[in-house]
Amino acid sequence: MASNPLILSNSSFISPIDISIAPFTSSALYFPLCTVVAFASWVILYHGQMRAQAKKCQVEGPFRWPVVGAYFEAKRNLWRVHDWNLRYFRQSKTILIDFGLFVNVLTVDPKNVEYILSTNFSNYPKGRKFHERFSDWLGNGIFNVDGELWKRHRKVASYEFSARKLRDFSCNVFREDALKLASILDLAASQQEVNCQDLFMRMALDSICKVGFGVNLNCCSPSLPAIPFGIAFDSANEHTIIRQVSLFWKMMRFWDIGSEKHMRKNLENLDSFTYSIIQNRKAEIGTSVDCGEDYVKEDLLSRFMTYRNEDDEGYSDKDLRDAIMNFMIAGRDTIAVTLSWFIYSICENPSVPESIRAELNDVLGDTQSLSYDKFASLLTYYSLSKMNYLHAAISETLRLYPAVPKDTKIAVNDDVLPDGIIIKKGYSVSYVPYSMGRMKFLWGSDACEFRPERWLKNGIFQPESPFKFTAFQAGPRICLGKDSAYLQMKITAALLMRFFTFSLVPGQTIRYKLMSVLSMQNGIKVQVTRR
């Protein structure tokens, strides 16, 4: 059992039956006294039972107090939750956190991860609770459903990520948008500091809207326009997280008060934006049909719009809205936060950008005299596939800073994990990429160091098992956008490394924020110099 940091909170825990609130008569003392005695004996009994149970299952984890479990310890550590979990994983590959109202089993053991995500996939869906909290925002989109509906979404969406589409279409979009970002950095170079995370968010939003929905938002224009949609989107994300820890969110939603009032306003903004995208696209399809043409746009939205099942039913407008929302979270935040952590990592490890530049020279030849545009045109699907070191540097970023740091499923039935841990129906079961990347038993004694070379053998990138390197999940629900994501991040990183050097603005604290993605609390401020 872990040391017990909760001793202090315990005294406040019993304060409600502090006798000072009772009048000082002997009969009035009787009741509180009895309560204390009853409470104390129950504590001892309950505790003994818990201990025995934990011992039997050999599960480590934070100390479990009666009734409240580790709730207060968890609450105190919420702001650094991933490192709090990590501390317990240093004692055991699977841990149990008892939140009082529910129990969460977390694991970094690849055997367990494979079992949850693949072998016994059907016993570990996202579950109803998750669906409920996310459904106002993500609706019945691919992220937020299980079973048949998920299967159908997955099938329709998977065409979108074919190698052909990436090579012939997405690659051009990623190049265009990376060039826009470069021109903003060019203006700022040597003059003002820039917040990379904000810029990457803009770039990634532009790209996903073009690739996914055929819409050009132009967030990455030099005037850096305000993006009400982006703000409403982030706010909806944060308010959804508040729902995870709030007991009364449904009541607050009903009365339209507090955080739920903000949530409603955000959702209205998001809806008006997405429904207008849908109406525009419908109008376009209508026009081309009138002209007797086949409608040819190849974006994801068009694909969902023209989909018909066996009974000739298509997707409703609400379904399309949900699809847009889901691809937005899939394709914007993940890319932007990973690129931000990449910039952080290369600032902290200056030999890495040098090695990337050396590889660019090897693969592309001398590019010293080329303009931004000319250089970008050399970054093709094919040339990028030969950049093993760059691929390794991005993978190394995701190993230490996985965009989805922890991912949780719900057990449908009682089960036993391969390492013997007993799972009860209704337990949350999580695999934890953030901790996995830091485990010595998986990566060796330098697990916490940023070292792209660990991925290379004779200069060739060696993929790891997805059950060990879990940044993209694994099994039937493995990330659909993985190749697309590497493509975009490699194009962007190559362009930026070729033309700029980065250094961190001193005096800032870089840390993660409590969100479903590992975004940076205050972004990352850098000084940029033109090379």
Ligand X SMILES: *[C@@H]1O[C@H](CO)[C@@H](O)[C@H](O)[C@H]1NC(C)=O
Residues that bind ligand HEM (CB under 6 A): 142-143, 154, 157, 208, 327, 330-331, 334-335, 338, 398, 403-404, 407, 471-473, 477, 479-481, 484-485
- Under the criterion CB under 6 A, does residue 428 sit at the interface with ligand X? no
Measure the CA dihedral 508/511/514/518, to 10°: 120
Q: How far is the CB of 396 from ligand HEM (least distance, A)?
A: 13
Binds ligand X by CB under 6 A, chosen from 92, 107, 112, 123: 123
Contacts of 300 (CB under 8 A, 6+ apart): 157, 160, 211, 212, 213, 323, 327
- Under the criterion CB under 6 A, does residue 112 sit at the interface with ligand X? no
Buried b (16+ CB within 10 A) or exposed e, 377-413: ebbebeebeebbbbbbbbbbbbbbbbbbbbbbbbbee
Q: Which does residue 107 bind out of ligand HEM, ligand X, none, counting CB within 5 to 8 angstroms by kind?
A: none
Q: Would you state the structure tokens that stand for residue 267, as one six-digit string?
A: 């959702």
Name the one range near ligand X by CB under 6 A: 96-104, 242-250, 274-282, 410-418: 410-418
Binds ligand X by CB under 6 A, chosen from 158, 276, 413, 465: 413
- What is the crossing angle of helices 128-138 and 258-290, to 10°? 60
Q: How far is the CB of 126 from ligand HEM (least distance, A)?
A: 7
Q: Would you state the structure tokens that stand for residue 400, as one six-digit string?
A: 């230490």
Q: Check if the beta carbon of residue 324 is closer than 8 Å to that of residue 277.
A: yes
Q: Which does residue 404 bind out of ligand HEM, ligand X, none, counting CB within 5 to 8 angstroms by kind?
A: ligand HEM
Q: How far is the CB of 413 from ligand X (least distance, A)?
A: 3
Q: Would you state the structure tokens that stand for residue 184, as one six-digit string?
A: 């903003």
Strand partners of residue 501: 529
Strand partners of residue 96: 105
**Amino acid of residue 87:** R
- Under the criterion CB under 6 A, does residue 516 sit at the interface with ligand X? no
If residue 195 lies in a helix (H) or strand (E), which one and from where to where? strand 194-195
C-beta closer to ligand X: residue 146 or 198: 146
- Under the criterion CB under 6 A, does residue 519 sit at the interface with ligand X? no
Spatial separation of the C-alpha atoms in residues 495 and 516, rounded to whole Å: 29
Q: Which does residue 359 bind out of ligand HEM, ligand X, none, counting CB within 5 to 8 angstroms by kind?
A: none
Q: How far is the CB of 142 from ligand HEM (least distance, A)?
A: 5
Please identify the residue of the shown chain whose CB is closest to the bound ligand HEM.
481
- Under the criterion CB under 6 A, does residue 415 sit at the interface with ligand X? yes
Binds ligand X by CB under 6 A, chosen from 9, 77, 118, 119: 119
Residues of this chain that bind ligand X (CB under 6 A): 119-120, 123, 412-413, 415
